[in-house]
C-alpha cells in the first residue's frame, strides 16, 4: 500500500511546471505526486497545486522532520495519500498547506487570499484538530473523543487530511523517542483507525492498525509476523488448490471473475487472539478468498456455486449486500468446509463494492475521469448522499434508530462536545452557551453561575460554545439566575429552570433581591440614606414610578445594577471608585479586542448595546471621541489585583524585524521562557526584507509584558517592538 502506486505510475505530466516550481531544490520530492495528479486533474488545477507546493516549500524552508529530512517531504507525502484517494484539487492544496499555519509565518488569511475560502476552511479545520490533545483527557472516553473529532468537522475532507497526516506520521514513527512513539501509536489505534473504519476507508484503517500494533507492541508484532510468514509457506499449496477449484468452477458456468487469496492482517490476528481467546493455529487454519464480479446478480449466482462446490457451514452466511455494515460496507460472506475439512471463508462482491470497501467516503470525491471535475459542492453533496444512502439502507433493513442518530450527529453535527475541568466530555446541542453547560452539569450549578472560563480564559455567559473547548463554571452561593440568559440558552433544561425560577419569584422577593444587588453595588452608601431628590431623578431617567419597580427590574436583570448604583451615588463627590474587574466577578463583561487591556492599564467600562460592558484601555483610540463622563455609556472600573494575580490576559505586540532563518522560533522561545503563550500570529511584509509580526500573547500584567518585550529585544535582527494598540 502507499507510495508504490505512485512511483509505478508511468504517467508523465504534459503541463510543464513554471520556473518557480521547477527550480525549488525540493522539486524532486514533489515531482512524482505532480505526475500522478496530472492523470486525473486539469492543467489549471495542477498549476494551482504547484503554487501550493511552492508556498509550503518556502514556508517550511529550514525546518526538519525528526528524521533529519527536510520538512516538505511530510506535506508532500500527506498530499500524496490524499491524491491516492483521488480527492479534488482543494483537498490536495489543503494537504500541502496543512502544517503551515501552526508552524510558519503563513497565516490563515494568506491561505484564503491565495487559494480561496474552501481551502482556508479545510486548513483551519485541520489546525483546530491538531490542537486537541487526546492524552490530556480521560482515556475511557475514546468513543466520545472520536465523536468530538467528527463533530468539529464541518467538511469531511478535514478528517481525510487528518487521517492522511496520521498515516504518514505513523510510517515515519521510527525517528521519535520510544515513549512518544507509544503514545502516538495508542492514540492511532484508539481514535484514528476507528474513524477510518467508520468512514469506510479500509486501506487507511488497515495501515494504521498494522503500524500502530508494530509501534505499541514491537515484540508481539515481530513474533506474530514471523509465525504468519512461516504458516504462509506451509499453506501455499492448499491455498492454490482451493483457488484453482474456485476458478475452475466459475469457468464452467461462464462467469468472469477475479479470485484473490486473502492474507490475514497481523492486527486482526492479534485482535482475534485477544478477544476470542483463539489460538494462533486456529486463526491461521482459515483459508480466505475474495471473488470480485461485474454485478450484484452474479454475486448471488456465485454464492450458489460456492455452496455447491464446498459444504456451507450452518450460520456461516452473511448478506451485507442487502444489509450493508454501518460504514456502508457491502459484500456477501460465507464460511465453508474445504478439502480435508479445511475451513474456508469467501467474500463475494462487485468491483464497485470492492472500491468502496477500500476507500469509503473518500471514493465520493473521486474523479472518474479527467475533464469531469465536480465542484467541491458537488463532491460534498455526493458524500452526503453516501451518508443518506447508508441511513436509508439501515432504515429499510430495520436496524436501530440509535445508529441512524449516531451517523447523523457524527457527520452533520447538530451537537457539540466540550470538556469539563476534570476532562469528562459533555455533549450539548449546537449553540449551547456556558449557562446551558452549567445547567447540564447540575441545576444548582446553573442557578448559581456567575461566570465561565473557557480554555482558562474569561468567556461571556451568552456566547455559544464550540466543540473541543474546555469549560469551567464559576459559581457564587448568593448568585441568582438572570432573565437575560433566556435570550441565549438553547437547552430546554436551562430554559425551563430559569423560567421556573423567575416565575417563582414573588414581587416581594424580587424587590428584596433587587435591593440586595443594588446595595452590593452601592458599597458603603445605604439605599435609605439616598436623598429623595436624587432618587426621583434616577427613577425618572429609567421611567419607573417608584423604587420597588426599579428594584424588580434589577432583580430580573432588565437593568444593569452598577449603572443604577453609579447614578444614585453622588457623581460630583466621586466617592464611587467603580466596579471591580476581578476576572471572575458576577458582573458580565468582556475585554475589548482593539486594545486588549491587561492589569496595570488604566481601564474604563464602555456599555455597548448588544455586548454589555466592554472593558477598554482608557487611551484606546476607539473610544477617544466619546465622553468618558457620560454615565449612560461609561462605567468606571478598576482592577481587583487580589483576583487577577493568577490569571492570564490576552494582549498584542507588534514586532518589526529583518528576516533571517530561525528568527520566528527564537521569538517563540523567548515568549515561552517568560511563561507566556502565543495565542495568535500574523505577519505582514513592510519592504523587501522587513517583516511585521503581530503576536497575540497571554500575560499576567504590564510588568510581565515588559519582561517579554525586553527579552525579545535581545534577539538579533529585531528592529522595533511595541505594544499593539
Ligand atoms: Mn502534519
| Distance separating alpha carbons of residues 322 and 329, to the nearest angstrom | 11
168 CA distance to ligand 1 middle (Å) = 8
Q: How far is the CA of 75 from the centre of ligand 1 (A)?
A: 6
Q: Which residues pair with 470 in a beta bridge?
A: 419
- Chosen CATH of 649-723 out of 3.30.70.260, 3.20.20.80, 3.90.1010.10, 3.40.50.10470: 3.30.70.260
For residue 31, report the distance from its CA to the centre of ligand 1, in Å: 20
Q: What's residue 242's pLDDT?
A: 92
| pLDDT value of position 376 | 45
CA of 50 to the centre of ligand 1 (A): 19
Q: Which CATH class is domain 220-363?
A: alpha beta
In this prediction, residue 404 carries a pLDDT of 34
Task: Please give the Cα distance from 146 to 327 (Å, whole number).
Answer: 15
Phi, psi of 71 (to 5 degrees): -60, -30
Q: Residue 142's pLDDT is what?
A: 64
pLDDT in tens, 433-490: 999 999 999 999 999 998 899 877 888 888 899 877 889 998 888 788 887 687 778 8
Going from the Cα of 38 to the center of ligand 1, the distance in angstroms, rounded, reads: 24
The answer to whether residue 102 is catalytic is yes
Give 455 Cα–ligand 1 centroid separation in angstroms: 24
Cell readout for 652 is 498584542
In the sheet that 589-591 helps form, which strands lie side by side, from edge to edge?
579-581, 634-639, 603-608, 612-617, 589-591
Closest CA to 125 of 93, 161, 172, 177: 161
Distance 660 CA to ligand 1 centre (A): 24
Q: How many angstroms separate the alpha carbon of residue 269 from the centre of ligand 1?
A: 30
Task: Please report, rounded to a whole number, the percentage of residues in the chain having pLDDT higher than 70.
Answer: 81
pLDDT (0 to 100) of residue 139: 52
- Of residues 103, 406, 656, 666, which has the active-site annotation? 103
CA 489–ligand 1 middle distance (angstroms): 37
Q: What is the mean pLDDT of residues 294-323?
A: 89
Residue 311 Cα to ligand 1 middle (Å): 50
At 506, list the grid cell.
414573588
The mean pLDDT value for 692-705 works out to 88
The band of 138, judged by pLDDT with boundaries at 50, 70 and 90, is low
Say what the pLDDT of residue 348 is: 96
> pTM of the full predicted structure?
0.58
Å from CA of 674 to ligand 1 middle: 28
Lay out the sheet containing 258-262: strands in order across. 258-262, 287-293, 343-350, 332-337, 311-319
pLDDT in tens, 162-203: 999 999 999 999 888 888 898 889 889 888 888 888 777 888
Of the residues 102, 256, 282, 297, only one is catalytic, namely 102
Listed residue (495, 503, 504, 512) closest to 552, CA to CA: 512
Per the annotation, the verdict on 103 as an active-site residue is yes
Greater confidence (717 vs 567) lies with 717
**pLDDT tens sequence across 507-547:** 777 787 778 778 877 777 888 888 888 889 888 888 888 88
C-beta separation of 259 from 243 below 8 A: yes
- Output the CA torsion sign for 57, 61, 66, 67: positive
CA of 377 to the centre of ligand 1 (A): 25
- Cα–Cα separations (whole angstroms), residue 230 to 94, 223, 281, 472: 43, 11, 12, 56
Cα of 358 vs centre of ligand 1, distance in Å, is: 23
Tell me the mean pLDDT in the region 121-145: 70
11 — pLDDT class (breaks 50, 70, 90): low
**Residue 159 Cα to ligand 1 middle (Å):** 13
User: Are 269 and 224 contacting, i.e. CB atoms less than 8 angstroms apart?
Assistant: yes
Half-sphere exposure of 470 (CA within 13 A, CB side): 13
Mean pLDDT on 52-64: 93
Q: Determine the angle formed by the axes of helices 89-96 and 156-171, rounding to 10 degrees.
A: 50
pLDDT for the residue numbered 549: 86
pLDDT mean across residues, the chain: 80
SS3 percent helix, strand, coil of the chain, rounded to 5, is 50, 15, 30
Q: How far is the CA of 126 from the centre of ligand 1 (A)?
A: 9
For residue 148, which phi and psi values (nearest 5 degrees)? -65, -40
Domains in the chain: boundaries: 19-217, 220-363, 414-502, 505-569, 581-644, 649-723
Q: 600's torsion region: left (phi>0), alpha (psi -120 to 50) or beta?
A: left
* Contact (Cβ atoms closer than 8 angstroms) between residue 334 and residue 305: no
Q: What is the pLDDT of residues 355-411, one digit of tens each?
A: 878 776 666 554 443 344 444 444 445 555 555 554 444 444 333 333 333 443 444
Residue of 645, 59, 723, 682 whose CA lies nearest to 712: 723
Domain 414-502 falls in which CATH fold?
Answer: Ubiquitin-like (UB roll) (3.10.20)
Q: What b/e readout covers 284-302, taking b as 16+ CB neighbours within 10 angstroms? A: beebbbbbbbeeeebbeeb
Q: What are the start-end ranges of the E strands in 489-626?
A: 579-581, 589-591, 603-608, 612-617
Residue closest to 85 by CA, chosen among 379, 347, 409: 379
Question: Could you give the CA distance from residue 703 to residue 537 in angstroms, rounded to a whole number?
Answer: 44
Domain topology for 19-217: Hypothetical protein af1432 (1.10.3210)
Please tell me the distance between residue 699's alpha carbon and the centre of ligand 1 in angstroms: 29
**What's the mean pLDDT in 490-505?**
80
Nearest to 260 by CA among 356, 348, 355, 336: 348
pLDDT tens digit string along 643-692? 777 778 889 999 988 877 667 777 877 888 888 887 777 777 777 778 88
pLDDT of residue 450: 87
CA of 503 relative to ligand 1 center, distance in Å: 54
**Cα 10 to ligand 1 centroid, rounded to whole Å:** 28
Is the predicted pLDDT of residue 214 greater than 50, yes or no? yes
> Could you tell me which of 122, 116, 124, 2 has the C-alpha nearest to residue 51?
116
Q: Is 330 helix (H, G, I), strand (E, B) or coil?
A: coil
What is the whole-number distance in angstroms between the Cα of residue 458 and the centre of ligand 1?
31
Amino acid at each position: 500500500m502507499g507510495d508504490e502506486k505512485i512511483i509505478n505510475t508511468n504517467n508523465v505530466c504534459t503541463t510543464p511546471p513554471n520556473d518557480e516550481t521547477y527550480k525549488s531544490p525540493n522539486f524532486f520530492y514533489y515531482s512524482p505526486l505532480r505526475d500522478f495528479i496530472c492523470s486525473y486533474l486539469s492543467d489549471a488545477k495542477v498549476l494551482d497545486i504547484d503554487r501550493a507546493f511552492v508556498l509550503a516549500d518556502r514556508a517550511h524552508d529550514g525546518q526538519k522532520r525528526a528524521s533529519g529530512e527536510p520538512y516538505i517531504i511530510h506535506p508532500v507525502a500527506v498530499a500524496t495519500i490524499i491524491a491516492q484517494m483521488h480527492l479534488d484539487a482543494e483537498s490536495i492544496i489543503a494537504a500541502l498547506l496543512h502544517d503551515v499555519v501552526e508552524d510558519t509565518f503563513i497565516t490563515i488569511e494568506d491561505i484564503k487570499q491565495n487559494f480561496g475560502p474552501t481551502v482556508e476552511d479545510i486548513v483551519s479545520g485541520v489546525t483546530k484538530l491538531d490542537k486537541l490533545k487526546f492524552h490530556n483527557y480521560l482515556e475511557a472516553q475514546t468513543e466520545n473523543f472520536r465523536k468530538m473529532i467528527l463533530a468539529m468537522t464541518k467538511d469531511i475532507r478535514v478528517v481525510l487530511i487528518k487521517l492522511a497526516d496520521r498515516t504518514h506520521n505513523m510510517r515515519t514513527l521510527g525517528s521519535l523517542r520510544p515513549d512518544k512513539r507509544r503514545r502516538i501509536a495508542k492514540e492511532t489505534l484508539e481514535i484514528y483507525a476507528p474513524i477510518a473504519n467508520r468512514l469506510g476507508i479500509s486501506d487507511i484503517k488497515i495501515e494504521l492498525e498494522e503500524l500502530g500494533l508494530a509501534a505499541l507492541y514491537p515484540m508481539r508484532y515481530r513474533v506474530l509476523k514471523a509465525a504468519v510468514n512461516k504458516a504462509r509457506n506451509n499453506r501455499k499449496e492448499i491455498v492454490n488448490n482451493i483457488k484453482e477449484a474456485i476458478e475452475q468452477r466459475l469457468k464452467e458456468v461462464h462467469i468472469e471473475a477475479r479470485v484473490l487469496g486473502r492474507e490475514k492482517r497481523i492486527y486482526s490476528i492479534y485482535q482475534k487472539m485477544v478477544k476470542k481467546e483463539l489460538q494462533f493455529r486456529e486463526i491461521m487454519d482459515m483459508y480466505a478468498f475474495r471473488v470480485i464480479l461485474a454485478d450484484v446478480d452474479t454475486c448471488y449466482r456465485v454464492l450458489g456455486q460456492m455452496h455447491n462446490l464446498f459444504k456451507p457451514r450452518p450460520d456461516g452466511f452473511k448478506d451485507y449486500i442487502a444489509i450493508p455494515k454501518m460504514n456502508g460496507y457491502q459484500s456477501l460472506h460465507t464460511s465453508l468446509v474445504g478439502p480435508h475439512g479445511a475451513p474456508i471463508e469467501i467474500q463475494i462482491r462487485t468491483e464497485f463494492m470492492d472500491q468502496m470497501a477500500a476507500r469509503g467516503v473518500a471514493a465520493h470525491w473521486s474523479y472518474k475521469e479527467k475533464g469531469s471535475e465536480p465542484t467541491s459542492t458537488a463532491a460534498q453533496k455526493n458524500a452526503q448522499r453516501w451518508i443518506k444512502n447508508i441511513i436509508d439502507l439501515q432504515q429499510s433493513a430495520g436496524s436501530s434508530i440509535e445508529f441512524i442518530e449516531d451517523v447523523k450527529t457524527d457527520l452533520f453535527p447538530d451537537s457539540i462536545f466540550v470538556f469539563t475541568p476534570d476532562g469528562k466530555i459533555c455533549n450539548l446541542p449546537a449553540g449551547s452557551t456556558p449557562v446551558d453547560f452549567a445547567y447540564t452539569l447540575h441545576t444548582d450549578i446553573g442557578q448559581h453561575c456567575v461566570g465561565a472560563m473557557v480554555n482558562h480564559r474569561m468567556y461571556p455567559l451568552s456566547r455559544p460554545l464550540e466543540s473541543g473547548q474546555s469549560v469551567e463554571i464559576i459559581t457564587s452561593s448568593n448568585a441568582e439566575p438572570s432573565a437575560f440568559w433566556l435570550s441565549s440558552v438553547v437547552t430546554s433544561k436551562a430554559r425551563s429552570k430559569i423560567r421556573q425560577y423567575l416565575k417563582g419569584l414573588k414581587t416581594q422577593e424580587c424587590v428584596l433581591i433587587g435591593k440586595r444587588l443594588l446595595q452590593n453595588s452601592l458599597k458603603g452608601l445605604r439605599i435609605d440614606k439616598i436623598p429623595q431628590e436624587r432618587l426621583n431623578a434616577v427613577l425618572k431617567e429609567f421611567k419607573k414610578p417608584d423604587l420597588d419597580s426599579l428594584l424588580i427590574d434589577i432583580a430580573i436583570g432588565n437593568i444593569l445594577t452598577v449603572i443604577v448604583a453609579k447614578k444614585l451615588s453622588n457623581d460630583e463627590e466621586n466617592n464611587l471608585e467603580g466596579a471591580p474587574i476581578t476576572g471572575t466577578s458576577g458582573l458580565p463583561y468582556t475585554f475589548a479586542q482593539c486594545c486588549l487591556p491587561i492589569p496595570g492599564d488604566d481601564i474604563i467600562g464602555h456599555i455597548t448595546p448588544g455586548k454589555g460592558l466592554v472593558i477598554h484601555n482608557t487611551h484606546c483610540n476607539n473610544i477617544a471621541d466619546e465622553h468618558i463622563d457620560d454615565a449612560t455609556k461609561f462605567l468606571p472600573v478598576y482592577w481587583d489585583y487580589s483576583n487577577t494575580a493568577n490569571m492570564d490576559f490576552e494582549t498584542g505586540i507588534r514586532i518589526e524585524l529583518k528576516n533571517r532563518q530561525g528568527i520566528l522560533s527564537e521569538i517563540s522561545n523567548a515568549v515561552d521562557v517568560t511563561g507566556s503563550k502565543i495565542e495568535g500570529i500574523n505577519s505582514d511584509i513592510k519592504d523587501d526584507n522587513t517583516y511585521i509580526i503581530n503576536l497575540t500573547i497571554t500575560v499576567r500584567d504590564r510588568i510581565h509584558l515588559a519582561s517579554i518585550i525586553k527579552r525579545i529585544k535581545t534577539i538579533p535582527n529585531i528592529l522595533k517592538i511595541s505594544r499593539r494598540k
